[in-house]
Amino acid sequence: MKVLITLAVALASVAPALSTAVWGQCGFLAMKGIGFSGDTTCDAGSACVKVNDYYSQCQPGAATPTTTSPAPAPTGCSGTRTKFKFFGVNESGGEFGNNVIPGQLGKDYTWPSPTSIDFFMGQGFNTFRIPFLMERVSPPSTGGLTGPFNSTYLSGLKQIVSYITGKGGFAVVDPHNFMIYNGQTISSTSTFQSWWQTLANEFKTDENVIFDLMNEPHDIPAQTVANLMQAAINGVRASGATSQLILVEGTSYTGAWTWTTSGNSQAFANIKDPNNNLAIQMHQYLDSDGSGTSPTCVSSTIGAERLQAATQWLQQTGFKGFLGEIGAGNNTQCITAIEGALCEMQQAGGAWIGALWWAAGPWWGDYFQSIEPPSGPAVAAILPALKEFL
């Protein structure tokens, strides 16, 4: 269930070149990925399928090497649609066990499995959000947010990020802290800016890294959050990370359905990136209180309804939107609501550039929104619905 990346890499380096197991990376004739020098054949019963110019994958059931075909157009989503540039899943694990600091790898927290990344890339998805804890990368015991990074934890984060981007995917680095560090609300813009400048420096040469400045601030005035986000933007760019997309989040758990009523729409109206590569990240769940804790959706139309005001705000202001979390039950009503939400987004003339399902990750077990392959509860019903919008 848990994959130690360093061990997997070490074993791969000494393994004989035989054939690649299902869902593994392969290369076959013209479909050998750019920069890939590994096995070129797949185990019996699977064949090498080109996903993009950098990545081909052994997928079951294909008799001959082929390329992926587009999913059918979504039922009931007519008209002109703008596809997402960034589409994928959250890959949880690094933020688990947040009451145990620093925590032990494999006991209190884990990192996403490379085979999960391989699976989703094979399905056509390209973006993966990697939650982590600030207290683990910047331990309170060694200086906190102004102290040195924990090299072991940072290395684990960097390994999974490099795994994703090395295959042509996009990795969203996400401090999953709700604007709270070590039990206290983060309030210093200078500290937050400096912390982000230091962290972004670790990833500044990787253009496929996306900086998500903070997960779901809450119970903080919207303007305070906007000021902190602006400071973090300045810190990222000061690090030399000038080409990567930056995602900012608002207060009230950055809910799309409350974006125009929580103060976020006013506070973020003047947020600026000197490099003009910024998007507003919002989250949306479809249960009664928008928390994502119930598999029951309000209605089959609630997805589109909860996004409409935010979509109009994006269109009016010219900002781009990024739905960093969407989740719901895997029943018929919820699936229809999810499809309605994604249709609303893709019919908005490019106002929304990305969407990520919450969530995959190796430790979710029977959590109803888990889309962790091969048998997470949401795989059978939710995955086909999402693929309609690739």
> Could you list the active site residues?
216, 325
User: What count of residues does the chain have?
Assistant: 390
Query: Whose CA is closest to 204, among 243, 166, 178, 175?
Result: 243
Q: Which of 211, 237, 215 is nearest to 225 (CA)?
A: 215
Q: How many CA atoms lie within 13 A of 109 on its CB side?
A: 26
Q: What is the DSSP letter of 105?
A: B
182-189 contacts at long range (C-beta below 8 A, 24 or more positions apart): 182/101, 182/135, 182/140, 182/144, 185/219, 185/220, 186/145, 186/214, 186/228, 187/224, 187/228, 189/227, 189/228, 189/230, 189/231
Tokens 């070590």 correspond to 182
User: 246 forms bridges with which residues in the sheet?
Assistant: 211, 278
Three-class secondary structure of residue 260 per DSSP? coil
Are 269 and 317 in contact by the 8 Å Cβ rule? The answer is yes
Cα separations (Å) of 139 from 142, 143, 155, 351? 6, 7, 15, 38
Q: Three-class SS of residue 22? A: coil
What SS3 string covers 340-371?
A: HHHHHHHCCCCCEEEEEEEEECCCCCCCCCCC
Q: In what order do the strands lie in the sheet with 66-67?
A: 25-26, 55-60, 46-52, 66-67
Yes or no: say if 127 and 169 are a contact pair by the CB < 8 Å rule: yes
Is 12:371 a contact under the CB 8 Å cutoff? no
Note whether 232 and 217 are within 8 A (CB).
no
Pairing of β 46-52 and β 55-60: antiparallel
The tokens for 103 are 């925590």
CB 63 within 8 A of CB 69: no
